[in-house]
Amino acid sequence: QHKLSSDNVRMIVKRLSGFSGSDIASIASDASFGPIRSLGGLDAIRGVAASQIRPILMEDFDKAISQATKSVGRLEIQKYDDWTKEQAAS
């Protein structure tokens, strides 16, 4: 469950430019744990009903993105773009 508007999703997509698919999956996974982390430690989580867990918020993605690092560098992306253009031309 989430409380992201269409504008939030567009903003997230823009911020994820240059991240690999694997990076994005990791960021999304990390953001999805935000509501659980906000409950506290293991003792606080035990016995909590799913209905008591808040939805995923933009702040969860903000934090996950700010802590993430890109696994693919600019040089690798440029090489891939060049190869793609080369293949399209032939």
CA–CA separation, 60 vs 30, rounded Å? 8
Q: What single DSSP character describes residue 20?
A: -
Residue type for position 37: R
Beta bridge mates, 41? none
Over residues 3-30, the mean pLDDT reads 95
pTM of the complete model: 0.78
Chain-wide mean pLDDT for the chain? Answer: 92
* pLDDT, tens digit, 9 for 90 and up, residues 51-71: 999 999 999 999 999 999 998
